[in-house]
């Protein structure tokens, strides 16, 4: 029995030592890159690309949302071939760079994943949803960039981290200072991207630049 007691004591000491060496890593949510060395590297990569390549690409390739909505309604595949980009090849979603302007018909700003729905044709109904953050969902910004490929990254985790770093930069640049009060009735304009897997999908825009008009 004394021998067994000694063994159990040693095991307990080893477990305690292991737990003492553990470090909890803060989860930064959809827009964060986790605060790791990998996240820092990806943030630096986005910093280097943002104004040199990302913003110019969107400014050059953005198609007016008033053109894209009816085009997609007539057929996603045809609209994608004419206006979109398919990062993963045939069978993968289409991503569209877009320039939008519409009246805010509803705003959901009570959550971290805040959004505003906009009417672009004056009929009083929503045509698209614009993400306001802080939490930015999806990979539309990354998937709209033809000069970025999965093969540029070590693995799927790093590729996903790059998308989150892009979303974080978009929030900091375009959305963090945007007022959240009295949005309804105001004009929301900007440039961004959205991804569609099917013709009936919601148009969910991730913006890289926005401008809000005066209150009506």
Q: How far lies 174's CA from each of 85, 117, 133, 207, in Å?
A: 23, 17, 10, 7
Chain center to CA of 106: 20
| Residue 6 covered by a domain | no
Q: What is the pLDDT of residue 31?
A: 57
CATH number at residue 184: 2.40.50.420
Q: Which residues pair with 117 in a beta bridge?
A: 106, 129
E strands within 36-158? 63-64, 94-108, 113-119, 128-134
Task: Report the range of poorest mean pLDDT among 30-44, 135-149, 191-205.
Answer: 30-44
| Residue 5 covered by a domain | no
**How many domains does the structure of the chain reveal?**
1
| Residue 8 covered by a domain | no
| Residue 11 covered by a domain | no
Q: What is the pTM of this model?
A: 0.83
Q: Which residues pair with 103 in a beta bridge?
A: 119, 187
Give the mean pLDDT of the chain: 86
| Residue 163 covered by a domain | yes
| Residue 99 covered by a domain | yes
Helix axes 65-74, 76-83, angle to 10 degrees: 140
| Residue 69 covered by a domain | yes
Residue 32 in this model has a pLDDT that exceeds 70: no
- Structural domain harbouring 119: 28-212
| Residue 20 covered by a domain | no
Mean of pLDDT values over 149-159: 94
Q: What is the pLDDT of residue 176?
A: 96
Taking only the tens place, the pLDDT of each residue in 42-75 is 999 999 999 999 999 999 999 999 999 999 999 9
Which tokens hold the place of 162? 């790059």
Composition of the chain by helix, strand, coil, percent to 5: 40, 25, 35
């Amino acid at each position: 029995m004394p021998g067994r007691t000694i063994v159990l004591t040693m095991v307990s000491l080893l477990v305690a030592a292991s737990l003492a060496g553990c470090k909890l890593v803060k989860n930064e949510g959809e827009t964060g890159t986790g605060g790791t060395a990998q996240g820092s590297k990806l943030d630096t990569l986005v910093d280097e690309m943002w104004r040199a390549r990302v913003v110019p690409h969107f400014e050059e390739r953005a198609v007016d949302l008033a053109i894209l909505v009816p085009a997609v309604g007539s057929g996603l595949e045809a609209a994608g071939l004419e206006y979109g980009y398919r990062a993963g090849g045939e069978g993968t979603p289409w991503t569209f760079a877009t320039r939008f302007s519409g009246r805010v018909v509803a705003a959901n700003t009570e959550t971290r994943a805040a959004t505003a729905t906009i009417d672009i044709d004056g009929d009083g109904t929503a045509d698209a949803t614009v993400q306001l953050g802080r939490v930015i969902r999806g990979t539309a910004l990354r998937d709209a960039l033809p000069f970025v490929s999965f093969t540029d990254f070590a693995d799927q985790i790093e590729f996903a981290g790059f998308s989150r770093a892009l979303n974080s930069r978009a929030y900091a640049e375009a959305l963090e200072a945007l007022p959240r009060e009295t949005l309804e009735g105001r004009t929301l304009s900007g440039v961004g991207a959205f991804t569609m897997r099917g013709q009936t999908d919601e148009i969910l825009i991730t913006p890289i630049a926005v401008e809000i008009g005066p209150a009506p």
